[in-house]
Amino acid sequence: SGYAHPEPFYYYLPVFIIGFFPWSLFVFITFIHAIKQRKAMPVEEKKQVYFFCSWLILTLVFFSMSHSKLMTYILPLAPSVALLTVSLSRWDKEGILGKRYLWALWPALSVSVMLPIALVFTMHKWVPAKHGLSTIHIAIPIIILLIGTLIALFTFVSSKRFFQLKKVFCFTNCIFLVITITYSAKYLGTFRSTKDIVEKCLSDKGENYILFSYARTVPSLVFYSGKNILQIEDYTRWKTIIPDPETSAYVVMSLNDYHKKQDWIQKRKLHAVCQNNAHVILKRENE
């Protein structure tokens, strides 16, 4: 199926480590500590740790066995990771954990410092320019992440407490997410529902027309139009996809692409007939 996403069995292991970083490294410490202290640990606390560990492992294995894999599928792991991390900070405050978490803490801090720096210096290679994301809108959240990590590093060196470090990491991640969501709102708008624009412009056209989507196909467009959507690019030739010049053809395009591709639109004799806050529907002039 064109909607399937086959990946190898181990696909979610790097996704888990990177996606939940740095907390994913600390979770391994929780496993080791629970095993070593299983006799001395209170019964109630032992049950909680075993439950959350089972939640994490079984969920990870379950989705790893699935043929179709996407990164978002393992979001149900998030509560177990968060609750296991709470246990880790509690042990640290009570003086039980000692220095066992240092082997994961220093690599986590080192990667957290180096990663934003590497992202900034390699932005010209990975920034998706065709989606209209501003370079400064990507750079600012990354710089915030770097500053927060440096503060976390200073906090740990001065206090030697994991709990203080966790608070700095959480605060930095919240700021990073808020800024990232704010800056990417315009881009995310291209994935919004097309229900309103389809009902307004295409509901009275019957079935005798062809519907295209420029650059990417929005899933809701397929659902609400009930049409087989054909995806086109800059290099697509109309004569090869529309053999009958009298057939009506409509193109759904994001607002960002619409403003950028005026020359392309004029050459193909397209004109806007409808738009909302995220998409434009263009109609081809019959020859």
pLDDT along the chain (287 residues), means of 10: 64 82 74 72 78 86 84 83 73 54 66 69 60 63 72 68 65 71 62 74 72 76 78 70 71 83 83 82 74
Rounded to whole angstroms, the Cα distance separating 252 from 215 reads 10
Q: What strands, in cross-sheet order, belong to the sheet with 230-232?
A: 230-232, 209-214, 248-254, 279-284, 270-275
Does residue 6 sit in the same domain as residue 72? yes
Domain boundary among 96, 130, 152: 96
The per-residue pLDDT for 31 is: 73
Domain boundary among 190, 222, 253: 190
The per-residue pLDDT for 237 is: 67
Q: Which residues contact 20 (CB under 8 A, 6 or more apart)?
A: 27, 77, 78, 81
Does residue 233 sit in the same domain as residue 185? no
The per-residue pLDDT for 272 is: 85
Q: Residue with structure tokens 């932005």?
A: 123
Amino acid at 59: T
Domain boundary among 190, 210, 232: 190
Range of the domain at 249: 195-284
Does residue 21 sit in the same domain as residue 72? yes
The per-residue pLDDT for 2 is: 43
The per-residue pLDDT for 3 is: 47
The per-residue pLDDT for 101 is: 59
The per-residue pLDDT for 127 is: 59
The per-residue pLDDT for 166 is: 66
Does residue 6 sit in the same domain as residue 78? yes
- The total domain count for the chain is 3
